[in-house]
Amino acid sequence: MKNKLPFLPIALLLFFVSNQTIFAQKDNYSAKIDSLIKTNSVRPFNGTILVSQKGKIKYSKAYGYSDFAKKTPLKLDDPFVILSNSKQITAVLILQEVEKGKIVLITPIKKYLPNLKQPWTSTVTVENLLNHTSGIVDLDKPTIFPVGSQFKYSDLNYILLAQIIERVTNKTYESVVTELFKKNYMRDSFFPNDSNKDEVVNGRHFSKDNTTKEIKGVIVPKERIPAAGLVSTVEDLAIWNNLLHNGKLLNVGTYGRMTTYTITNQHSVFGDKEIGYGYGIRINDESKIKEFGHTGIVPDQGFTSVNLYYPKTQTSIIILENQAFDNLDIAYYFESEIRKIVLNSGLLD
């Protein structure tokens, strides 16, 4: 009698082939990102990229230079100025004081900043600063719209929030944020000062005529750092995302308030639709995969940053570039394309 081919090995073979196909589909983003960042048809890429899921690295790459003149290769743990991604950190510091009972979000800021004499201090609340609905564009001028009625993005809101943090804690903002980083093992994140600013990678500014200037050190003014000048790495920001979005930095109610919105605004990285703005974080619930994130660019400083998080799969996409472009049509080109690659890969399903 001839031996019949057993069914079990065939089933196992089919299972293996099927799963290899699924794995290949879910990992197709790696090759696509590699191919993308090696192109320069739109502009060159120079920076670090990290994609992580549930605390595990799915993709990581340092590409280009930390010092352009010396051609020093970038490393994943190199620190970058994270620009407006600083706002999310400042927002958390405010909310931690809210949880201690030292700040009330709906209280006018006059209570916390009594030295400011402008009439709007009696109507602008802490929450208005957090979600950019204050209408403040100049400390010496009236608000440009009725408080709370519109969205107007401004670093000044977060400069004032840092002053409130200092007022209620009786500490400098620098010491408070340094304690936060230390407590949460964000070892390569810091408030830049004279003793550590040389650790930051060099930036590069591309003017509209495509001439470049290399920038050494941090040139963001000190008072603006809580809004646009903190320093971190892709690895530390992945730690931050996991802590923030999994209940390690704020309680459930406070986090819920941070990630709820009453105002919307459009940003090119997130598409053509207006999406929500919470407290230092954009909230995209206009598509099937919910997305939190923020962007940052200061061309004169020579840095670009994007930090995205997808709560369903606990996935982070973090891109830090030590270059920035005056031409905003291409400023976020790689950040937008990498986001699209991962969104279409199946990794977030």
Mean pLDDT on 64-77: 98
Q: What pLDDT, on the 0 to 100 scale, is given for residue 9? A: 52
pTM recorded for the entire structure: 0.92
Query: Among residues 282, 286, 295, which one has the least CA distance to residue 131?
Result: 282
Confidence of residue 77 (pLDDT cuts 50, 70, 90): very high
Mean pLDDT on 293-298: 97
Q: What pLDDT, on the 0 to 100 scale, is given for residue 348? A: 95
Token readout for 13 is 């073979």
| Cα-based torsion angle of the residue sequence 25, 27, 31, 33 in order, rounded to the nearest 10 degrees | 110
18/205: higher pLDDT: 205
Kindly report the average pLDDT of the chain as a whole number.
93
- Which domains does the chain carry? 36-343 (3.40.710.10)
Instruction: Report CA Rg, the chain.
Output: 22
Nearest-angstrom CA–CA distance, 96 and 251: 9
Q: How far does CA 15 lie from the centroid of its chain?
A: 40
- pLDDT above 90: residue 19: no
Query: Among residues 199, 154, 193, which one has the least CA distance to residue 172?
Result: 193
Confidence of residue 13 (pLDDT cuts 50, 70, 90): very low
Q: Output the DSSP codes for 202-224.
A: PEEEE-TTS-EEEE-S--S-GGG
Confidence of residue 210 (pLDDT cuts 50, 70, 90): confident
| Residue percentage of the chain with pLDDT more than 90 | 90
Mean pLDDT on 18-46: 79
DSSP β-bridge partners for residue 319: 49, 306
Q: How far does CA 121 lie from the centroid of its chain?
A: 29
